[in-house]
Amino acid sequence: MVFLHPVFTILILTLIFYSFVEVNRGVESKTSKYVFWAIASYMIIIVGYRNYVGADYPVYQGMYNQYFPTIDFGILFDKMLFRESKVDVEWMYGMLNKLVFLTGVPFKDFTLISAIITISGKLSVYYKNSQYPIFSVLLFIIPAYFIADSGHMRQALGMTFCMLSFQFIKERKIWWYLLCLYIAFGFHKSTIVFLPAYWLAIIPMNSSRILYALLVCVILSPFQIYNSFSGFLDTLNVQDVSNGYNGYINYESSGSSFMDGLMLVFSFLLVTFDKAACQKIYYYEYMRNILVTGICLYFIMRSNPVFSTRLVGSYLGFASLVVPNIVAAMDNKNTKKMTHLFFIAFMIFYYFVFAKYQGNAGRFTPDKYQNFLWSN
């Protein structure tokens, strides 16, 4: 049996414990912000100061130390204004690299800054919009925390600004929303698929419409209709910067039926408890519509494991908000506790699956994980 390094195992056990506290305490008393942000700080440290951990770590390190210092700011400004440029990496990520590099700090401080942005950004959205914020963090942590925040930093940064844009979706502030999406696109081009979310969020939906939409997409799944847009999708540079991601592709391919089952569970909850959640959770309809879009896109693209997970990740990331809010809205206490227990069991199972298939490849195991705070 393969385990992740104790720093990760302790984190997951802590999240499981506090999620039980949340669900049994009820929604009247929210988790202390001090407890929540103490956990967030711990998450930032073990990812931010990681040493040679994550599939693309050496590539990002080389880009920071050798590639971006040779790139002129003018070239990045051309990219920012959508002018033709020879640079093949997104301008916002390049800007962040250069600005941090100019301060003279090593790459480990850049990874720390990236972790602060991505983890604090997403967790702030969870704390503000989830009735059970610790439960939300638990659902987020595997695999996104390991694959994106600990590995593919560009996409993690881009998806964080997609999450942050939810505030402006709620407030219907389109220009601030577009600014968030512009920054997200500057970190990773694949986030452009999140652009319609502002309008999708307000489409009137109910249980029947959700069910019909999901069934249509499941039926369309074998026909690979996304190939009609393959030219556009190929320009989004979904597979990141190196072959380091190939291990994750194999992991996603082998886990496609696993993901299918998870999407069906999400679909069941969305259809069954839609009315209760709409009545009890503020702005639930908005986050629900975004997740429904993600599930629909997942089934349409499911024959391509990269597109069906990474390309629609900015939509599926809202599952960490929607599921805990659905659980919070359940009237029957036994149903609430059993649903929560199901997801706890699922996350424990997922922990061992991830440790077995990606623990060594990502260097998250006890013998491979290193942190600059306590190792050279």
pLDDT digit string (tens) for 266-285? Answer: 999 999 999 999 999 999 99
Answer yes or no: is pLDDT of 114 > 80.
yes
C-alpha to C-alpha distance for 373 and 376, rounded to whole angstroms: 8
pLDDT given for residue 249 in this prediction: 47
Tell me what the mean pLDDT of segment 181-194 comes to.
94
Answer yes or no: is pLDDT of 309 > 80.
no
Answer yes or no: is pLDDT of 253 > 60.
no
pLDDT given for residue 161 in this prediction: 98
Mean pLDDT of the chain: 90
What's the pLDDT band for 310 if we cut at 50, 70, 90?
A: confident
The helix/strand/coil state of 366 is coil
pLDDT given for residue 245 in this prediction: 41
**Judging by beta carbons within 10 Å of its beta carbon (0-12, 13-18, 19+), is residue 334 exposed, middle or buried?**
exposed
Q: Where are the domains of the chain?
A: 6-239+252-358
∠ at Cα 254 (253, 256), nearest 5°? Answer: 65
Structure tokens at 61: 């390190």
Cα 40 to chain centroid, rounded? 15
| pLDDT digits 0-9 by tens, 50-62 | 999 997 899 999 9
Answer yes or no: is pLDDT of 244 > 50.
no
Strand partners of residue 50: 371
Range name among 4-13, 29-38, 199-208 with the lowest pLDDT average: 29-38
pLDDT given for residue 89 in this prediction: 77
pLDDT given for residue 256 in this prediction: 61
Answer yes or no: is pLDDT of 158 > 50.
yes
Terminal-to-terminal C-alpha distance of the chain: 28
Give buried/exposed letters for 244-281 (b at 16+ CB in 10 A, else e).
bbebbeebbeebeeebbebbebbbebbbebbebbeebb
C-alpha to C-alpha distance for 97 and 185, rounded to whole angstroms: 16
Answer yes or no: is pLDDT of 113 > 70.
yes
pLDDT given for residue 267 in this prediction: 97
pTM of the model: 0.93
What's the pLDDT band for 186 if we cut at 50, 70, 90?
A: very high
**Close Cβ partners of 301 (under 8 Å, ≥ 6 residues apart):** 226, 307, 308, 311, 312
| pLDDT digits 0-9 by tens, 215-230 | 999 998 888 777 666 6
One-letter amino acid for residue 9 of the chain: T
What's the pLDDT band for 237 if we cut at 50, 70, 90?
A: low
